Structure 1
Amino acid sequence: MSGKGGKSGAKGGKAGSSEAKTQSRSAKAGLQFPVGRIHRMLKKGNYAQRVGAGAPVYLAAVLEYLAAEILELAGNAARVSAYCARCHLQLAIKNDEELNKLLGHVIISQGGVVPYIPPELLPNKTTKPATRKEFQASLRTSNRAFVFHLLVVYFYCVYRIV
């Protein structure tokens, strides 16, 4: 007895265990967006010399959240229709303040135009500018605003924009 191995069966491998299924990084993170593909694109795009293991997971989660948010709002805009068209995506983005700030400059092909309502016909809003402490408190209470804040900080760090 050499002491090495410790295998009881005639075949190689771990004793008493069947073959384990390989699990994708998307499945491990509980995401639908492809983490491996995003990792490959980050490496191929020369955004940085090296790409960490957590960066594509985080980016996939942010992209999945944004896609779900846009599709939810577009689905609400397309309540009567049987399907969600491009014009519903355009309406969803333009009518939401935060999404419009993020994607306001994006042109959606065949998206149509957003109906314009003159400001005189809209109800008056009397709001004062928030202080830094009030803004941070509102971020803590609003989950959606917090995610957008993280998104802006992430893109600022990665792409040096904003």
Structure 2
Amino acid sequence: MTNISPSHIKRFLAAAGLALAIPLTVAANPGDHRQPGDCSGMEARAALGKRGGEMGPHYLRSLNLSEAQRDKVFEIKHGQAPLMRDKAKAQQKVEDDLRKLAAAPDYSEAKARTLGEAFGKSVAEMALARAKADRQIFEILTPEQRQQLAERKPGDDAPPRGRGGEGRTPPPAR
């Protein structure tokens, strides 16, 4: 029988613990290797408030808004938030009601049509509210900034895909 010293056992247990801890840590949070509190990409810019339009529509990002313009964009978006939240809650409720109706024993085409129309109305109201806010924001732009917007190609105003980065593709649909 071999004589194993306690120091060898301690080193073996430490190495085994480390060997198990690393893969378990990675498996617990795949794809996101940032430390807590670590900001990168859009999050860092939004936290610092350096870029015009980060909190507003994506098409404002390259227009170099003045601080006064950024403040006005913030006021417009902040003022719109409660309305949009209420509309989103109403839309979610109608969607849930429609889903419940589909599985209910008292399903009727008339009830489904009424709920479908209510859902369509809520979607339209949200789109109109966004258009109104976009128009208010457009009105605070200088003529030069409006010209820059007009000269953009149709795909130039698309928001970046993926979380926080250009060039990232969305995950495949399942």
* TM-score normalised by length of structure 1: 0.29
Task: Give the TM-score taking structure 2 as reference length.
Answer: 0.28
Select the structure of larger CA radius of gyration.
Answer: 2
